[in-house]
Amino acid sequence: MLNGKRVAVVLPAYNAERTLEATVRELPALVDVRILVDDHSSDETVKVASRLGLMTFRHDANYGYGRNQQTCYREALNAGADVVIMVHPDYQYTPLLVTAIASMIAYDVYDVVLGSRILGGGALRGGMPVYKYISNRLLTFFQNLVLGAKLSEYHTGYRGFSRDVLLKLPLLENSDDFVFDNEMLAQAVYFGFRIGEVSCPTKYFDEASSINFRRSVTYGLGVLGTSVKFALQKAGLAKYALFSERARKLDANELATPAYYAAPVEEPRVLQARAAAK
């Protein structure tokens, strides 16, 4: 725990058997709850997770990265977490920064903390493809203008949230795909949460997950669409559930009921149930 706050690390996984153990081994001892959600992998991710003693859940189908995060956050809240850090199990981001990220939230400095690959210039040194670096900088520049924020990047997958943020953002309105990350940050800006950043080295290698060029283009278009919706809603020209206080959230009533969208893994039998319907 940190400052009396319960800390959870969530790992949204898909075919992560080769890098999961290295990731988990570097998690700091202060982490109270370690949760992995498997999005119906075709490899041995679930078996590795169980061997490592993770609280493990498995979707009964491949629902996508965004839906995986919804399950991650819901289970972390169900486990009583006050601070939730998302760490990708592909070992691209160092888990050693969990302490720094969690501390900034636990001591009420920020509500959201991002591990930035841009601060400190670590992205290109870590092997980020040049086209991804350039698109990252262009999209970030555009979003800072539209959203009125000053973040070094919006596209990192290394991020921490307070319990309050996860309960108040309308996360059930977000995409099931990779743009979920960007929508979540736009929502955090829209609802006035404090966002901080720490410099994070990163490494690109064969086993690390990375979306291809086609999906990168789809993601980029999604980012532009999210920004336009943000601007239109701020200007009072349109209304979107994505930025509505009355939209669907991970609310207290839902958290008090048994999980119906995923089930914990109990070796050697894997229990499966349908993921939360959109």
For the chain, the straight-line distance linking the first and the last C-alpha, in angstroms and rounded, comes to 34
Please give the domain boundaries of the chain with CATH numbers for all domains.
7-270 (3.90.550.10)
Angstrom distance (rounded) from CA 84 to CA 92: 19
pLDDT tens-digit readout, 217-264: 899 999 999 999 999 999 999 999 999 999 999 865 555 444 434 555
pLDDT at 128: 77
pLDDT < 50: residue spans in the chain: 256-261, 266-278
The answer, as to whether pTM is greater than 0.85, is yes
- Res 205: pLDDT: 55
pLDDT number for residue 97: 96
Q: In 10 A of CB 277, how many CB atoms?
A: 7
pLDDT at 202: 80
Question: C-alpha distances in angstroms, 206 versus 59, 76, 142, 144?
Answer: 25, 30, 31, 32
Element containing residue 255 per DSSP (H, E): helix 252-255
Q: What is residue 203's predicted lDDT score, i.e. its pLDDT?
A: 74
Please give the pLDDT value at position 271. 36
